Chain A
């Protein structure tokens, strides 16, 4: 990356990471250590300047933006720290969107079931701004698991929540993950949360160290 002064800035260096199917991996690290950047690269949201990323058996470097998008469709789920729900859409519409994009037949029914599963059956017609932070993140979880993705990327999913609500969301995320046998890549700086994963990596100044 080009720094404002013109010099080159290395965000990630010598990262070699293998995540097996069904595995839950935690990426720990301080702010600015490159966690989110690594997550973006793994999910194909960004391109590395050098090196290669293989997602679900597909070499991402060989794919253009649209091909990467197609790869994500229905197979990759996301949960973000700031929820990233579409503000103009109701809870149901937000969950329904990826199902609709994947062309699933009874998408609306499935979306409603998922919301029921995360305990928001009564709130399906609410807009994001009418929901609390915890509720919004539960909608985001329902959306992330819509269509049974093979892999879920979660970026500080509890970062915007109080500990109690955060705990509830994490419990929910792991129970959904167990039910769907989804591979999980979790970015966090919460050591306790990381411990629930099969494998923990620590990022320090752009370098990846194995912690467990």
Chain B
């Protein structure tokens, strides 16, 4: 049996064992993260799917062809059809605008759907002849709850229930009227759908990820003009942003674990080579060629790869099971099982990490002179430091890019690592230079200081390991909390959960008073009008000129234009001038950056909108990013207040209603302001909040692995100098140095190393926090002085403790070893 013999041989060699353990912990950490992230990722995607009621939705003006349904069925996918259109119903002779949503029996494919009926709660679509009403529709009908007959077109439907929970909400946020849900098969009989009707068909698809992806590609090539495919990734902007941010936090945590593991490998490999040198010299003396010696050691390393990879992936799988047992209930027991990808990833990580981080160090073996058998102090010529670091840096860069598949995040991470290395090298030399004059001090302190200065290369290696560990731990432990708090803070407890739309200018002031009377907070009123972009820089806009599907879609529909003299607090100008219209008294637009990019709009571009037949023209003053997940009122295109003077605008606001008074307020609003429509976004808000919470918890659990990796880095860094230290302590003891003196020396050395690493780590973490918050998450982070206190205090404490443990084991060694060693 090959495996047991591999295990036995590795076990016999202490250096290989350490290397194998380093690799195993690295792979365990990485694959546990990979397995878990894989599952969390799947869960997050499911959350996103739940909000669309499907994994994929095609939206278009015509009914989806039967061929689509058949093709999907052939691929084992579930499908559902929907039809959404506005209609007017008459109730007690009063006309009422409703949004009709017709669904078939398969609805919903994803997410939860609950309807309260006379018979209790049901989760299925309305049967033929029946309809379900949204709470706002029931209010508008002031119906005695259910069992009301309402006419819709030429049909009579019985309202059999009230929709309590609905995964997808139709249309854009601001197009809502009270909703009526009916059976898809009843629509034809209403006679409401004519070729000229403004309707929206939706074709919903759900199933295994691969099949959905194949279906998406199949559909993309057959899509008629004006049709749009929505996947989880391009679902609602609020959702997409929450999902992406959650994923980024996870990737950041996983990257930190992988980087620390790489450093542990590098340190362990250095230790392996140091221990292998004597043997190499003997092999060379016995006539083995350089390549034979190298091959021998590569074979040893391959064994380490195999064992480290195998045990690491296995332990990684078990690790995520433990993690799941711990945090599974956060996901309501719904976390899907992991795929095979993490297994392949685990072995690839093992290969890349071992190769990239140990190979350059291993190459030193080629240069061990045979003369070393006679003179042990002969060190092999160093391989070019540039080569060693170059290979490790390249390999790590590729790993980062491959793992996160996000240039921005990868670049940030690599810049961080490069900055850490540069800072550590420069400040490490500064420290050594500063300590040099103090090494002559009498007593343990002097010996401790001398220990740091006498082998600068070793000091720098250790400083790298510790600083990198402390930086990443601080980033994950504290910055993570800071960032998550800022992120979650962007969605406060009392975030607006209802939008009020279609507020007439005449009602604006009285509605403000009404809010005061009811004790309701609002986010301010914003004038809005709907307009179609007709000219860009004086040229007529033709959707067909755009190859991008999203651009074509955007140009075919009307925008909700907003008008105000200030930007929302969550907006940030990313290009162009400040928003100072009032001061300049000049018309202009501010455009959301992503939209601008899609449509090729730059600051200075001239936009012309057709608003109900009137042309509205102005230049773009600036582009801005929008925190869609703040649930404030936001617009893709915003003009200043003066521009709307002659436009048929209505106002919009968002308010927070707590559960106890929602129905009362909704009823009262419908009575007092019948023309104002209320849009309930509580379910979407809850989903975004759930994603944020779950994302935060997942990151916290990933942090555990980073902690293990950091411990390993510390141990490897200490291990490097262990032999040298043991010999040194034995000589010191022989020369008459007592325990106290040896202890003072070691604690001084480790304490100084910890204090300095802590300082560097805190500084680097603070700088990185600013960078990450600003560039990656578009959030603002303050400077946290606790970083330095915890970094320096924690660094010193941990390293003094490590120093104490190392010392204890070394002091137990008899000074006799100086007689027997070498």
Contacts and interface: CB of A to CB of B under 8 A. Distances in A.
Nearest to A77: B735
Nearest to B379: A129
A46 interface: yes
A128 B815 CA distance: 21
Contacts of B739: 65-66, 69
Interface stretch (B146-154, B335-343, B446-454, B543-551): B446-454
Which of A73, A74, A84, A98 has the most chain B CB atoms inside 10 A of its CB?
A84
Given A108-B440, A128-B377, A46 B734 contact: no
B738 interface: yes
A88 B446 contact: no
Interface residues of A, number: 35
A39 B818 CA distance: 12
Contact of A101 (B450, B728, B741): B741
Interface in A56-73: 65-66, 69-70, 72-73
A36 interface: yes
Contacts of A45: 734, 814-816, 818-819
Contacts of A5: none
A103 B444 CA distance: 12
A123 interface: no
B818 A84 contact: yes
A17 B821 CA distance: 26
Contact of A82 (B724, B815, B822): B822
Interface string A70-105: 101110101010101011110001000110111100
A148 interface: no
A88 B728 CA distance: 10
A80 B815 CA distance: 13
Given A45-B819, A80-B819, A88 B455 contact: yes
Interface string B296-324: 00000000000000000000000000000
B735 A98 contact: yes
B450 A69 contact: no
Contacts of A78: 734-735, 818
Which of B375, B377, B442 has the most chain A CB atoms inside 10 A of its CB?
B377
Given A87-B377, A88-B455, A93-B450, A69 B737 contact: yes
Contact of A102 (B724, B728, B734, B736): B736
Nearest to A43: B734
A40 interface: yes
Interface string B425-457: 000000000000000101000100011001100
A155 interface: yes
Contact of A72 (B379, B442, B734, B819): B734
Given A43-B734, A45-B815, 9 more contacts: A69-B733, A69-B737, A78-B734, A82-B822, A100-B446, A101-B735, A108-B440, A129-B377, A155-B819
Interface of B: 375, 377, 379, 440, 442, 446, 450-451, 454-455, 724, 727-728, 731-741, 814-816, 818-822
- Across the A-B interface, give the 8 residue pairs with the lowest CB-CB distance, nearest first: A73-B736, A88-B454, A82-B822, A129-B377, A72-B736, A46-B816, A40-B816, A45-B815
20 contacts: A36-B819, A45-B815, A45-B819, A69-B736, A69-B737, A73-B736, A73-B738, A76-B736, A78-B735, A82-B821, A84-B731, A86-B728, A87-B377, A87-B724, A88-B450, A88-B451, A88-B724, A97-B732, A101-B741, A129-B377
